[in-house]
Chain A
Amino acid sequence: MSKIINGLKYSETHEWVKIEGDIAIIGVTDYAQKEMGDITYVDMPDAGEVVEKEEEFGALESVKASSDLFSPVSGTVVERNDALEDAPELVNEDPYGNWIIKVQMRNPAELDELMDAEGYRDMIGE
């Protein structure tokens, strides 16, 4: 059974979003990290880069596969989690504690299109 946290927003491509003002903190879900297996590399954009909703912003590589990361919101990257550079295993250990990027949202209304915890639980069917 994968961990899902109430109060976060979720995308169909298994990213979670935590909202702090106009900043969206983005990571991947527990379900995603389990499906990926041991993550060996996190490819992240630099601060200042622009991301678009539902478009690729990076990738996770694991011993099983490489999987693109899709941004749940549009905006500008204000920070990336550099700790993941040397310790990608943090995503496996605590997927909700180890965010990947923080994005200054251009259009916070986009958040309405994301799922809540219950909707996400239904989607993954657990």
Chain B
Amino acid sequence: MKYYDKLIFELSKEGRCGFSLDGKASEGYLESIIPQALARGSKPRLPEVSEVDVVRHYTNLSQMNFGVDTGFYPLGSCTMKYNPKINEEVASMSGFAALHPLQDEESVQGALEVYWKMEKMLSAITGMSAFTLNPCAGAHGELTGLMIMRRYHLLRGDMKRTKVIVPDSAHGTNPASAAVCGLDVVVVKSKENGLVDVEDLKPLLNDEIAGIMMTNPNTLGLFESEIGEIADLVHACGGLLYYDGANMNPLLGVVRPGDMGFDIMHLNLHKTFSTPHGGGGPGSGPVGVATRLEKCLPGPRVIQAEDGKFHIEHIWEESAGRVSSFMGNFGIILRAYAYILSLGKEHILNAGKFATLSANYIKESLKDCYKLPIERICKHEFVFDGLINDGARPASVAEDGTPVEAVAGATTLDVAKRLLDYGFHAPTIYFPLLFHQTIMIEPTETESKETIDAFIDVMRKIAAEAAENPQLLKGAPHNTPIGRPDETQAARHPILKYWDC
């Protein structure tokens, strides 16, 4: 990898520029089109660079990037599966890419058909009755789902339901979404085996409960096997069940949230349905609902008339409202649509099974080096709780009488940093918070056995290094342009601008 560490500001040279406005920047022109009150008094201090400077700068930066196109990315809870290139090809077809959201319905029948069919396919895959494709991310989907939940209770005149139950193992977005929606959060505890404690849940249920948010499999990668009883209990108290689709991948074609008793759910197209994410987004978080909640979906929606033509229904009285401009991230919906069609019914059934097999294979291959806190068959991901032998040694006295200092053991952070030296992206670490040294690994179904074996070999090698010499890990990464940025200092005293102006 070519070493490159410049900021665009450092390339700046006064007076250099890479564009020409053909005389329009001349004196008096801006004043003639912008009202005086809105015009800025001084020029913005932007980097002054030529076109080639800009191209080289960003190309160099992009070559230092790590993504699913460069290597294995076992980031737990994120489902970093490969993004097939046929998705990109479909999304860049001019008939789709050049559309304008304000175009006349008649001229975008094809795009509307994609929306309509996508809604039907997602409903079939999840067992829900209808979907909105408008939310632009997973957490946006959560907020939309809770708005639907709230709207449903309010439409029934049930004003008391202001509390949402969230398990202590939930993604942080769950309580955050509830708070943004104006609902209070009640936490239900997990049992020793990592599953929601039904006995702890029972006393929390009453007529103030709007619903419960569950991730299944949960953030430990474990299937909530008591979901049937939980659904009955929550429904009996008048609450609704929300399914956080972050971990939908292992269930594809095997179990449907609708059949588990969930009333509302979101999907992350950028996880389960192979569209780009991380820095490469944007995301898409469609929300599905059971039949009785369909009227509460946000607008707009695509409907099909009797003559087969597609129309946009913008808003209706019972709707929870609008949640995005226009109709979500269409380019992403299109990519996911291409993914579903290219896998087809037969192969989509395999995605979840292979993801589950990959995760269990890694777990079993490493559990003699890393602490496995919950010994159980996992779904698409699992957690370790740090190294079994972290190399820590107490202070001692050598045979010749000289004191030997204590050696601190290697932590999960050290393991993650050392992985970078071997060319792998680190797994998710220190989440969920149920353990102190969490390492959360999710391989997905798109990796070959050879890739997974290479990862296992490196993880074993790192464990051996830790036992022998934890300092080696504490100094890692040794081979990357930047080692360990001071995250604490950056968070306490962030420097957010280059020039003081």
Question: Smallest distance from the beta carbon of A44 to chain B beta carbons, Å?
Answer: 16
Q: Is A41 an interface residue (CB 8 A)?
A: yes
CB-based contact A40/B430 at 8 Å: no
Q: Does A89 contact B (CB under 8 A)?
A: yes
Looking at chain B, what size class is its interface with the partner chain?
under 10
Q: How far is the CA of A65 from the CA of B487 in the complex (A)?
A: 13
Query: In the bound complex, how far is the Cα of B433 from the Cα of A65, in angstroms?
Result: 9
A88 at the interface (CB under 8 A from B): yes
- Per the bound structure, the CA–CA distance linking A98 and B172 in Å amounts to 28
- A63 located at the interface, meaning its Cβ lies under 8 Å from any Cβ of chain B in the complex: yes
Min C-beta distance of A67 to chain B, whole Å: 9
Q: Mark A62-78, 1 if CB is under 8 A from B, else 0.
A: 01111000000000000
What's the nearest-Cβ distance from chain B to residue A109, in Å?
26
Interface of B is mostly: helix
Closest CB of chain A to B381's CB: distance in Å?
20
Task: Give the chain A neighbours of B491 by CB distance below 8 A.
Answer: 38, 40-41, 61, 63
Determine the interface band of chain A, counting residues with CB < 8 A from chain B.
10 to 19
Closest residue on chain B to residue A89 by CB atoms: B492
B488 engages A63 (CB within 8 Å) = yes
Query: A89: which B residues are within 8 A, CB to CB?
Result: 492
- 1/0 per residue, CB under 8 A from A, across B480-501: the answer is 0000000110011000000000
| A88: contacting residue among B172, B430, B492, CB under 8 A | B492
Shortest distance between the CB of B186 and any CB in chain A (Å):
13
Q: Which B residue's beta carbon lies closest to that of A67?
A: B433
- Residues of the A chain whose Cβ atoms lie less than 8 Å from the Cβ of B492: 38, 40-41, 88-89
C-alpha spacing A66/B487, complex, angstroms: 15
Q: How far is the CB of A14 from chain B (nearest CB, A)?
A: 14
**Are A38 and B488 touching (Cβ within 8 A)?**
yes
Question: For residue A40, which residues in chain B have a CB less than 8 angstroms away from its CB?
Answer: 488, 491-492
User: In the assembly, what is the distance between CA of A64 and CA of B429, in Å?
Assistant: 10
Produce 1/0 per residue, A41-56, CB < 8 A to B.
1000000000000000
Within 8 A of A (CB), among B409-455: 430, 433
B206 to chain A, nearest CB (A): 19
Question: Is A63 in contact with B433, judged by CB distance below 8 angstroms?
Answer: no
When distances are taken between beta carbons in the complex, the residues of chain A under 8 Å from B487 are 63
Q: What's the minimum C-beta distance from A39 to chain B, rounded to whole angstroms?
A: 8
- B490 to chain A minimum Cβ distance, whole angstroms, is 9
Quick one: closest A residue to B176, CB to CB?
Answer: A66
In chain A, positions 84-99 with a C-beta closer than 8 Å to chain B are: 88-89
Task: Quote the shortest CB–CB distance from A113 to chain B (angstroms).
Answer: 20
A89 to B486, CA, bound (A): 14
A-B contact pairs, 18 of them (CB 8 A): A38-B488, A38-B491, A38-B492, A40-B488, A40-B491, A40-B492, A41-B491, A41-B492, A61-B491, A63-B487, A63-B488, A63-B491, A64-B430, A64-B433, A65-B433, A66-B172, A88-B492, A89-B492
